[in-house]
Amino acid sequence: MEEEYIYIGKIVNTHGIKGELRLLSNFKYKNKVFLENRKIYIGDEKKEEMIKSYRHHKIFEMITLYGYDNINEVLIFLNKNVYIKKNDLNLGDKEFLDEDLINLSVIFNNKEVGHVVAIRQINPKNKIIEAVINDKVTMIPYHEDFILNVDLENKKIELNLIEGMI
């Protein structure tokens, strides 16, 4: 079975002369990914590297990698996407990735009304669930007030929709 890689961010620049990299990431579980000695995979070729150090700075996730000690050695990683293997993520019972919601049946008032087709990032802090409900595309805020329950085992998401939404 082929490994499933999950996108966690993009290397957008270097920082200083000692090989530190700046990543932009809005990954939901940064605390499980940006850890010392965590394997990450960089670029389309998924080059395996290991995080040596991590810190958060302004809007960036700052990492150094084992085996790279100066800016010239890490320039090869600029503008590359960064991934982690899904199996390495170790999510808890009530934790899930956005990708896991796609194709789930939408349940409203104990009745199946449609299915999720996409999760869209509409700005750096907000996402929406795009679902086909009653043969129409409906946008639902990706927020705990609207998501009552996610049941990955039974492939269902129970939503709290407001009048006029569907």
Distance separating alpha carbons of residues 9 and 131, to the nearest angstrom: 25
CA atoms within 13 A on the CB side of 152: 12
Same domain, 118 and 146: yes
CATH number reported for the structural domain that contains residue 22 in this entry: 2.40.30.60
> Do the Cβ atoms of 90 and 32 come closer than 8 Å?
yes
Question: Of 88, 113, 141, at which residue does a domain stop?
Answer: 88
Strand order in the sheet with 126-133: 136-141, 126-133, 111-123, 105-108, 156-159, 147-151
Number of domains the chain is built from: 2
Same domain, 73 and 105: no
Question: Of 88, 115, 133, at which residue does a domain stop?
Answer: 88
Structure tokens at 142: 């990706």
Same domain, 76 and 121: no
Residue 93 in domain: no
SS3 164: coil
Residue 164 in domain: no
| Confidence at 29, pLDDT banded by 50, 70, 90 | very high
The pLDDT value given to residue 26: 87
Write the CB contacts of 92 (distance below 8 Å, at least 6 apart in sequence).
Answer: none
pLDDT averaged over the chain? 93
Query: Whole-model pTM?
Result: 0.82
DSSP 135: T
Residue 1 has pLDDT above 60, yes or no: no
The pLDDT value given to residue 93: 80
- Provide the domain limits for residue 114: 98-159
pLDDT, tens digit, 9 for 90 and up, residues 38-89: 999 999 999 999 999 999 999 999 999 999 999 999 999 999 999 999 999 9
**Lowest mean pLDDT segment, chosen from 100-104, 116-120, 131-135:** 131-135
Same domain, 65 and 105: no
Maximal C-alpha separation, the chain: 58
Distance separating alpha carbons of residues 98 and 157, to the nearest angstrom: 12
SS3 43: coil
Distance separating alpha carbons of residues 19 and 116, to the nearest angstrom: 41
